[in-house]
Homo-oligomer: A and B are copies of this chain.
């Protein structure tokens, strides 16, 4: 691979002037610039980043540790957001798939120190608490998670608002007996959403305190889905719900199965809504699933902005708003259209 030295020789000029052209510095004669650019082209010269890093003492690298992230669709959006923000600042993302507290995580943080990363972003697959320490000389930003002592800047989805909004919409469309098939109680999002669900009922004059149930549970360290069994049970009940809000799209999938087996059709005999907007699940379900999309791209973007502009505020975690992606599942033929409250 060619060096600036070789380019300079071919262009009959000095290394420094070549460096000027490469770094788009002004004050270079047009003719000299042309000659240098031609030489660069001819030799296929590319700057050697390691040399630049060493001399300028700037690595321009930001580490992105994805904890379990790659197992779901959400990772794409988190990484894309961070990537786009990074490129805006001329920074380079260094991406790692890690396991919390595990060997890969340790090695990734080690590598990032060796590369003199300027900041580190730590992202999790779902909203939760983590235990992690920053490496020296690089701010740590938490993405979709937070630390117990709120020591680090963090960005999470606004679970309360999301549940409040989707429940309000459900009620606005006619739901009288909505049930919330929630995430495991041991999650962070679960209780926040339960509160949003209940408060939205309260705001509309509905008492929903008894309508929240667990659709999943953490058993033996593993996340177990019980949406199918719970849905089958409540749909067999005399006072069955007219709408089911699911804590995640996977639970909605199980509700679809249980509904079909109970002879009920989603979007006609029972309304269903959910959280996540996860591909491909949403596209596969018939009818299409109405679900609250989590603002992963925006979260990733915000995290990178914060990583590159340290000194800003640290805690509490910034809660980014969620939006409903409306398809066909949030409907019930039993809801009389006249009863839908109008909004202006």
Contacts and interface: CB of A to CB of B under 8 A. Distances in A.
A254 B286 contact: yes
A75 B80 CA distance: 16
A27 interface: no
Nearest to A222: B283
Given A71-B279, A284-B225, A97 B111 contact: no
27 contacts: A1-B137, A46-B113, A48-B114, A49-B114, A49-B116, A50-B50, A50-B54, A50-B59, A50-B115, A70-B70, A70-B75, A70-B76, A71-B279, A71-B280, A72-B73, A79-B97, A95-B96, A225-B280, A225-B283, A250-B284, A253-B281, A254-B286, A257-B257, A257-B286, A260-B260, A261-B265, A281-B281
Nearest to A103: B87
A326 B337 CA distance: 47
A328 to B, nearest CB: 13
Nearest to A114: B49
B97 A97 contact: no
Given A80-B97, A97-B76, A253-B284, A47 B114 contact: yes
Contacts of A312: none
Interface in A1-50: 1, 44, 46-50
Interface in A231-279: 250, 253-254, 256-257, 260-261, 265, 279
Interface string A287-320: 0000000000000000000000000000000000
Interface of A: 1, 44, 46-51, 53-54, 59, 70-73, 75-76, 79-80, 83, 87, 92, 94-97, 104, 107, 111, 113-116, 136-137, 225, 227-228, 250, 253-254, 256-257, 260-261, 265, 279-281, 283-286
Given A76-B97, A95-B96, A254-B286, A50 B47 contact: no
Given A50-B116, A250-B284, 8 more contacts: A1-B116, A46-B114, A48-B54, A48-B116, A87-B107, A228-B286, A261-B265, A281-B281
Contacts of A104: 83
B256 A257 contact: yes
Contacts of A115: 49-50
A100 to B, nearest CB: 15
Contacts of A87: 107
Residue from the set A95, A96, A227, A283 with the largest chain B CB neighbour count within 10 Å: A95
Contacts of A76: 70-71, 97
Contacts of A286: 228, 254, 257
A187 to B, nearest CB: 15
